[in-house]
Structure formats: structure tokens, C-alpha cells
Structure 1
Amino acid sequence: MSARVTALPPMKSWSNSNSQRASRPELCRQAMKDLLFNPNGRIAKRRFWQGVVLVTVVAVIKRGMEIKLPGAMDNGLGIIALLLTVGLVYANICIFAKRFHDAGTSGWWIIAVWFAKFFTFIIMFALFGGLFLGSEGTALLEAVMEGWATADEAQLTQASRRLVDLLFPLIILSYVVNGVLAALVVGSLPSDPAANIHGPPPGDGPETFN
């Protein structure tokens, strides 16, 4: 009576499978690094929105900590916040530049996005600032001006921090509104269906991941 022997899969296939599982996190990290810190190439609209949401959430959290923890910002956290700000600005440039590249235009249009965000901030504070300040805000503005005129640093600092605290909801709202509006406008740009000077259409290269 002959025994049936079941052949085991070649060791090479097991090794390849383990290698693929092990390299998956590394591929994701590399893709995220490329999304946030590489200004070259093109990205699809889905990847663009992923980057915008991530950068906006981190920016809102950072700004909230700066407002609510002013004492901590005077110490080591202030340096970390500064470095994080630089990183967020650069990531914002990279994300928007690649979306402009995908639309077949120059990434320098990010400058127009910044100007639009600046004017949006001004309009929002002009329209809604009074709703958040109220009578206390008016008194605080007078205290700020008085502290500035008399060089009273303690009064100026205290009144300024209280003003920012009153405007905290509007500041956070303006960050979100600015991010959404910019993403809607730039994200709606039609993609160049063919390869252009910035690379092949998104999905044909290694920058896309799921």
C-alpha cells in the first residue's frame, strides 16, 4: 500500500509572501512621505483630499494647543510647534503643487491659494468677529491699545491672550473653512488624461497606494 505524499509549497513562495507582508508598512510609510514631502510628480484627487484632511487636522490641533497652552509654548513646546509649522507649510506646498501638476499647470499657483486664504481669514473675522468678542472684547481691545501706548507688557499680554481665547472658535472655524474651500477649488480642477511634463497620470506610477 503506497503512502500519498503531499508536496509542500516551495520555500521561495513562503519567503516571498512573508517579504510582501513585511514590506507593506514600509510601502505605506514611503507613500505617505512622498505625498507630504515630495513636490514633484502628480497625485489623483483622492490622494489630494487625503493629504488636505491630514494637514488640516494637524494644523487645527497645533493651533488649538498654541492658544490653550500659551505657557507651555514659552518653553520647549514652542520650538516643536515652530518646527511643526514649517513642516505643515512644506507639506501643504507639496500636496497642492502635485494636484496642480495633475491638472497640467504650474505648482506655483499655490501662491494664489495662499492669497485667497488670507483674504478669507480677513472676511470671516470682519463678518463674525464681533459675534465672538461682544462687549468684553471691546473692553479688551481698549486694554490692548492702552497697554501698547503705555508699554505695559503685562497688561498687553493678558488682554491679548484673552482676546485670542474669545476668538478661539472663530480661529478654528476659519482654519477648517479655508482648508475646505481651497481643497474644493483645486480638487475640482480636471486631471490631464495624458502624461505631461510632471509625469504619467496618477495610478500609472508607484505613488498610488490603497
Structure 2
Amino acid sequence: MSPKGRIDRRPFIVGVIVLVAVLALFQWLAVGEWWHVPVGWVFYPAWVYAAVCVLAKRLHDRGRSGWWAAAILIGFNFTWPYPDSLIGAAGLLIVLWATIELGWMKGEDGANRHGPPLNV
């Protein structure tokens, strides 16, 4: 898995659904368990890397820099599992922008600096 290249909307949406489901399942299973911290030291970095790869590839398809994935993940962090502060509301706006930009808008036609389009 790599953050290089491009992906279309459908594989992006499937990837996001899988990432959120895996995160929710891990946190549900780990509530109050002693192993949450040691396993979390492996799980969370792996989850963030997978999320960066999926987000960066879709951002590349839209002609954006993959570094925008950092802003999206920070916004997601402040809204997960629900926004409970003013910062959470700002994070919700970032997640809403990302949902529209990456989930509904089509990628750039033709090749861009990140490679050819991968229409699935």
C-alpha cells in the first residue's frame, strides 16, 4: 500500500467505509481492556498510514496534494466519534468538505502529475 497514484470514487468510498468500520470495531472491543494500550501502539499508526494512503490517492485523483490528508485526519480526529466542542465543529466542516470533494466530485480527466486516471 502506497500513497502514490490515483483512485476513483468507488474504491475510495469502500476504503473509507472499511477504515471507519475497523476503527469502530477496534475501539468497541478495546473499551476497558488491559490490552488496548499495547495493541493500540501498533493499531493506530497502521490505521493512520492506511487512511493517509486512501486519502492521498483520492486527493491525487482530484489534482490536489496528498498533504491535504493531514488536515482531513486532524478534522476527523476532532469529530470522532462525535463533535463535542467548537474545535469539533470546525473539524466537522473539514470532514464535510472532504466528503463532498472526495466522495462526490469526479477526478480530473486525463493524466495529471500523479499519473493516469484509474476509472473503475
TM-score range, shorter chain: 0.7 to 0.9
Displacement after TM superposition at 1:125 (Å): 2.0
- Change beyond 3 A, Cα 1:183–1:59: farther
Displacement after TM superposition at 1:96 (Å): 0.3
Q: Tell me, what secondary structure is at the counterpart of 1:115? A: helix
Counterpart residue type for residue 33 of structure 2: P
Identify, as 1 or 2, the structure richer in helix: 1
Q: Tell me, what secondary structure is at the counterpart of 1:107? A: coil
Displacement after TM superposition at 1:80 (Å): 2.9
Match among 187, 193, 198 for residue 114 of structure 2: 198
- Change beyond 3 A, Cα 1:182–1:91: farther
1:37-76 deviations in whole A, cap 9, x for unaligned?
Answer: 2111000100001110111111001111221x42343xxx
TM-score (norm 2): 0.77
2:71 and 2:44 mapped to 1: Cα distance? 20
2:39 and 2:15 mapped to 1: Cα distance? 21
Tell me the equivalent position of 2:48.
Answer: 89
* RMSD (CA atoms): 2.8
Q: Percent identity?
A: 33
> Which has the bigger relative contact order, CA under 8 A and spacing at least 6?
2
1:101-146 deviations in whole A, cap 9, x for unaligned?
Answer: 000111111122123224435972249xxxxxxxxxxxxxxxxxxx
Displacement after TM superposition at 1:187 (Å): 1.6
Tell me the equivalent position of 1:188.
Answer: 104
CA contact (8 A) 1:42 1:201 kept: yes
Deviating 4+ runs (over 4 angstroms): 180-183
Unaligned runs of 5+ in 1: 1-36, 128-176
Unaligned runs of 5+ in 2: 87-91
